[in-house]
Chain A
């Protein structure tokens, strides 16, 4: 009747100002303050890049707020200061990651040679250049220890998550609190625990297995909590329709619910792995470290990448420190890759479930 054709709709109005317009005046103020501070630094005893940057920042916050205050009054000026500070805080969370990654890459890249992956430290003397010798033994150790820890912690963590989601009993309530408490255990305490139990009381020596057990104590809460969140996301209708079809509870869980949450459970596991792959402290008293290859995780001291890097950088010899940085680089790449993988799996899983 009086409905206009759709083409008659007007164009939306521009209500918010875009970034360019918003940033124009503040940037001008920033430049002015920067130049003014440079001048002040030139004629007074003040000096240093960091000092100049800090003074410029503080000066900018004040000048910018004053600029707003003149036109809009104190409330808007306060809002402006808060906006600048909050945005700075947001930016501050990105800076350390960038600094760390860039620094580790710049220090470690030189040490990444073929020999780093194919040789050990067995016959390396203090005078040898950094290109001789490698971390083969440490890489083998890390793979074995993390693998074993995953085998130990994942089934336990998943089953714990199943219990947490399906039972409303007292055990579930207590466990939920304790899993949180467990995720706060310092990693060194996990190492001490395995040391006092496995090595002192049970008279087993240092071994990759001991390291794996300590790591699994740290991995368990991560897996359990993440898996619990993921299983909770599975629509309840799925569970009920399976039960209504006459499937027993355990088949409903293993054939319907867990497969539905599969990619999320992968995420839980990979997150757990990325949490423990870089752990150093518990290895000191469980794997102990060694300079030679020990492929047997059940017996004898073993090295691992974090341990390798830690022991190298504590050395005063520059070539050893260089090897340590190379180890750190491999480690950070490994951990960040695992972490990104976990996030990607999680994102895909959410899409599947919706």
Chain B
């Protein structure tokens, strides 16, 4: 389903320039329009416009503190959970503003799932319960629980490792397994979009590889937006890449956004080029 060879960790121009795929899948299209976010008086990001087409993988790169994570959190209304947080602009899921009057945050988060930097399975639940926890939380009935558990764990590439101990506590898994469990948990509610906030930064290289495989597999069914510090990872998994940058004391802004191949091989902005080649950040 994907035309990027897995083993290739270098940035391969020929492969990347095959361009973004056109979606015919189950993912939703997400569009940010002039997104600006504050914590108290402090403006974190300003005027971010971004189009994340259905079924694509978009990566967001940039140095620390440029507002990548904050931007991601505005995309499923997690941002407003911080008491002093404010935002402006629009985020459209399949054309509908998720901040619109009458839209419920919980419902939006159900459609736009999120995986966090640190794996955070529910410690008091078993592995199987964790997978189904989203359905239970949202009150979605599930007819065949065993089938659902297996399907989601399979998608997250964890089934083979845990199928014999679904009743074991989730805390007993390794960090990489926990993160894949969190992905499985997010997939169980069939989100339209899955946001990932540096999902591999706390993991070892082999777990990272498994999760990258998972991302590519699920991208046919769900639109993925991933924040990462690892530029190779962005090049490997994404169709589009956005480069964020914040000047000192200024809010973070989007410097360049386009097909991943273009951003990595022929960036328009000199700052993008400098960052990609490790000259700063």
Contact = CB atoms under 8 A, between A and B. Distances in A.
Given a CB threshold of 8 Å, the question of whether A touches B is answered with yes
A16 interface: yes
Contacts of B139: 73-75, 78
Contacts of A16: 80
Contacts of B106: 75-76
Interface string B20-40: 000000000000001010100
B104 A76 contact: yes
A15 B250 contact: no
A9 B36 contact: yes
Contacts of A73: 139
A153 to B, nearest CB: 40
B78 to A, nearest CB: 12
B104 A12 contact: no
B202 interface: no
A12 B250 contact: no
Contacts of A201: none
Nearest to B74: A15
Contact of B253 (A2, A10, A13, A75): A2
B99 A13 contact: yes
Contacts of A3: 247, 250, 253
Contact of A15 (B34, B36, B87): B87
B86 A13 contact: yes
B89 interface: yes
B86 A15 contact: yes
A12 B45 CA distance: 12
Contacts of B34: 10
Given A3-B253, A9-B36, A15-B99, A75 B138 contact: yes
Contact of A12 (B47, B77, B86, B255): B86
Given A2-B253, A3-B247, A10 B88 contact: yes
Interface string B196-217: 0000000000000000000000
Contacts of A12: 36, 38, 86-88
A4 B47 CA distance: 9
A24 interface: no
Interface residues of A, number: 17
Interface string A68-106: 000011111010000000000000000000000000000
A9 B47 CA distance: 8
Contacts of B36: 9-10, 12
B241 to A, nearest CB: 18
Contacts of B88: 9-13
A297 to B, nearest CB: 52
B125 interface: no
B80 to A, nearest CB: 5
B243 to A, nearest CB: 13
Interface in A1-40: 2-4, 8-13, 15-16
A71 to B, nearest CB: 10
A15 B80 CA distance: 8
Contact of A9 (B46, B77, B80, B255): B46
Interface string A228-262: 00000000000000000000000000000000000
Interface string B142-171: 000000000000000000000000000000
A18 to B, nearest CB: 13
B46 A4 contact: yes
Interface in B113-142: 137-139
A72 B77 CA distance: 18
Nearest to B137: A75
B4 interface: no
Contacts of A10: 34, 36, 47, 88-89
Contacts of A76: 104, 106
B247 A13 contact: no
A4 B34 CA distance: 13
B231 interface: no
Interface string B219-239: 000000000000000000000
Contacts of A15: 77, 80, 86-87, 99
Q: Which 7 A-B pairs have the closest CB atoms?
A: A75-B139, A12-B86, A10-B88, A13-B88, A15-B80, A12-B88, A74-B139
10 contacts: A3-B247, A9-B43, A13-B87, A13-B89, A15-B77, A15-B87, A15-B99, A16-B80, A75-B137, A78-B139
Given A13-B88, A73-B139, 6 more contacts: A2-B253, A9-B47, A10-B88, A13-B86, A16-B80, A75-B138
